[in-house]
Amino acid sequence: MTIGSSYNYPSFAAKETTRTKRSTDNKWAARFPNPPDLCFDYRSLVEQANGIAKATSLDHRICIIGAGVTGLTAARELYRCGFTNITLIEQSRRIGGRHLTIPGSPNSTESHTPFELGAMRMPFFNRADEPPTDGRSLMAYYAKAFELSFSDFANPGSQWVRSTGIYLREGSVGNSGTPQMLIWKNADGLTPPPGEDLQKVYAKWKDFADRMTKHVAEIYASQKWESMWAAIVKKYEGVSFRDLVSMPALTTWDERSPGDFGGMGMSAEESAIFYAIGIGDGSWGAFYDVCCLYPLRTAIFGFSSQLQLIHGRVNAAGDPLASPYLHSNTVSDSAGLSFDAPRYIGLAALDESLMFLKTAETGKSVYEHSLERSNGLLTDSSVTKLKKLTNQKIRVYFNWKHSQAEQTQERFEDFDSVIMTLPSWLIETRIELKNFTQEMLPFEIINAYKTAHWETSCKVYAPLKKSFLSKNHKIPQTIVTDSFIHDVYTYRYNDHYSYDCILLSYTWEDDATKLASFTDKELVTKCAKELDRILMNATNIQEKISPYIGIEQAVVQRWITDKNALGCAKLYRPGTYYDAVSLMKYNRDFARTSGLYFSGESFSVDAGWTEPCFRTAVDAVIHICDKTAAIFNGGFSMSDYPHYKLKT
């Protein structure tokens, strides 16, 4: 469970704050809620009719490594600017990276419920009084531009589920005398979880989070903000989330110590409950030993607010809108190799839209433009080496037909700029970087991405009979446990699809690692039996859920063993926050000299989310435009673009 996934107060705090967040002399300033490091409105720059800039060096050769959402965003925005010599290299035979949507009924010719094996709930950074697509985020911009359909995500503990079941310590929490599943109904979004123990934990978290959110919302984007965020970082960057939970609480915030909000003041027993279920919305234990700035920035700055389930580029019945290549069985890259055709269902529709929908500026899509060139899009091609040449170009070596061992060919091409979007563990284990000097790529930067912590995650999805959500009101819609299955989600896209879906088990970190030795079939069976056991043991339920589940159609995704990912999300431990920030600064500090641009989650501090992928992609585009003397649109200049701050 991603931390703080039901904490909506930031969107309300923004609404309640009367001071205008955008400064009158800087139209590029962001507003709250938004990430804290760069107070910059990326949407304002990208949503301009002609994009970010007008390219003047049209033949500048650009290679983008990876066709996940980061690489596709970079390709689209560079193409909108007028750059035409772009090569996109993808190792797999599909696009989208860790946006992995598969059909829940793979053999059906009809539209079907999708399973989101990767990212699945999107923050739009909208305030409480506005629709999601009005949020000041790139996710909001692209969702509107691509006509994506969405709905409020059915998070545990939220008003978007009819009930959440909480089963801890074999049903002993709640002092009922017999094993019970606590039932949390929160139709108004304000009802605390049931039971005295859970309410104490809930109150301590909410008191801390509300106080911090309130003061952050008041100061964000003001002249005081940069120093306040620096003070928060100084206070908490060496503190684990586990320690923050037990750190003594403050009753009031002191403006003379703007970065100090104290801790949550929980006892060991309360911390154990918080570890298992957060505030009832799922386990937060996977994040207990990371730097507490990660959960703080996730919860306080809008990543947790009003999360959305992306249905796809579809109508109300869930059928795809008329879209390019919709009914193609396969599509081919520039070299004639086939890769997965777009379905425009689920979150993957976002990536497919970035690739296949036309841009207003050119009248063509990135894909159409790529096919006009022999090297515009290369799939099934694994990059193996980057070599800096004496003429300042970068030679990119790759194995073409990577998955076809007997036909694999080593090839290379030379480029002026290279955008690297891969997870950092893939960079370290797959790609040799040669002839990059310390002035181009310092050891400190290499060490920062090599030692980054990538967490694992395991998802077990299956089709769910529609009668479960339509008729069964005894078993809760979502379930949170301290069992090895941990979190269970059930939800519906629409009444038209034949089945709903169940995320039978959602685990992170050690909770996912402990499941690694089981085969997929063994794990599915094990999870179903365990959930049945819990439900039958709870004396207030005593009904099995397995009759509603399509066990034989279940699928398992383990991100740590996915050869195209080697991890689900990049986190950072106490004391390593500045290493992560140094990676975000790389493009500004070194890319003009090296020709190498780092983008994607590997080079962000907001792991597990799509928004930082968008923003780091746009960051690379901004710096390439600056290096090539492109003419920025809207009066933007690099003096308007704030700097990341390191420890002084």
Residue 643 lies in a domain: no
pLDDT in tens, 539-554: 999 999 999 999 999 9
| 647 occurs within a structural domain | no
Q: What angle do CA 104, 503, 166 make, to 5 degrees?
A: 160
- Partners of 149 in the beta sheet? 312
Torsion angle of the four alpha carbons 617, 622, 628, 633, in this order, in degrees rounded to the nearest 10: 130
Beta bridge partners of 331: 339
In tens, the pLDDT along 454-476 reads: 999 999 999 999 999 999 999 99
Distances (CA, A) of 336 to 328, 381, 403, 404, 616: 15, 13, 15, 15, 30
Q: Does pLDDT of 497 surpass 80?
A: yes
The predicted pLDDT at position 457 comes to 93
Q: What is the 3-state secondary structure (H, E, C) of 347-412?
A: CHHHHHHHHHCCCCCCCCCHHHHHHCCCCCEECCEEEEEEEECCCCCEEEEEEECCCCHHHCEEEE
> Using one digit for the tens of pLDDT, what is the confidence trace for 402-448?
999 899 999 999 999 999 999 999 999 999 999 999 999 999 999 99
* 23: pLDDT strictly greater than 50: no
Strand 164-167 with 182-184, pairing:
antiparallel
> How many angstroms separate the CA atoms of 220 and 17, rounded?
11
DSSP label at 217?
Answer: H
Are 151 and 309 a contacting pair, CB within 8 Å? yes
Q: Which domain holds residue 451?
A: 1-637
Per-residue pLDDT at 235 exceeds 80: yes
**What is the count of structural domains for the chain?**
1
Closest by CA position to 167, among listed 194, 140, 143: 194
Instruction: Report the pLDDT averaged over residues 312-338.
Output: 96
pTM value > 0.85: yes
- CA distances (Å), origin 454, targets 124, 240, 323, 571: 25, 16, 36, 6
Distance, in Å, from the CA atom of 248 to the CA atom of 384, rounded to the nearest integer, reads: 50
Site of tokens 């790609």: 431
User: Quick one: pLDDT at residue 278?
Assistant: 78
- Give pLDDT, residue 19: 47
574-605 core/surface letters (b: 16 or more CB in 10 A; e: else): bebbbbbbbbbbbbbebbeebbbbbbbbbbbb
Q: 547: cis peptide before it, omega within 30°?
A: no
pLDDT of residue 195: 87
* CATH number of domain containing 540: 3.50.50.60
Cβ within 8 Å of residue 424, ≥6 positions away: 449, 450, 452, 454, 570, 602
What is the structure's pLDDT at 12? 86
Q: Which residues contact 236 (CB under 8 A, 6 or more apart)?
A: 244, 259, 291, 292, 293, 296
What CA–CA distances, in Å, run from 357 to 80, 223, 347, 506?
Answer: 12, 40, 15, 33
Closest by CA to 118, choosing from 583, 520, 423, 565, is 565
Distances (CA, A) of 4 to 8, 22, 314, 560, 572: 9, 26, 29, 23, 17
pLDDT at 1 over 80: no
Per-residue pLDDT at 394 exceeds 80: yes
Q: What is the pLDDT of residues 196-218, one digit of tens each?
A: 888 999 999 999 999 999 999 99
| DSSP character string of 251-316 | SS--TTSTT--B-----HHHHHHHHHHTTTTS--GGGTTSBTHHHHHHHHTTTTSS-EEEEESB-T
Say if residue 617 is exposed, middle or buried (CB neighbours under 10 Å; 0-12, 13-18, 19+): buried
Res 356 pLDDT > 90: yes
Average pLDDT of the residues of the chain: 93
Q: Is the pLDDT of residue 307 over 60?
A: yes
* Strands 478-481 vs 101-103: parallel, antiparallel or unpaired: unpaired
What lies within 8 Å, CB to CB, of 363 at 6+ separation is: none
In this predicted structure, the answer to whether residue 21 has a pLDDT above a threshold of 80 is no
Distance CA 191, CA 358 (A): 46
Report d(CA 363, CA 253) in Å as an integer.
Answer: 54
Checking if the pLDDT of 283 tops 90, the result is no
- 642 in a structural domain: no
- Please compute the mean of the pLDDT values over residues 349-353 and round it to a whole number: 98
Q: Is residue 497 part of a domain?
A: yes
Distance between CA atoms of residues 370 and 363, nearest Å: 13
- Assigned domain for 645 exists: no
Report the alpha-carbon distance of residue 474 to residue 381 in Å, rounded: 51
Confidence at residue 25, expressed as pLDDT on a 0 to 100 scale = 62
With tokens 């090569």, the residue in question is 87
d(CA 585, CA 500): 43
**DSSP symbol at 248:** P
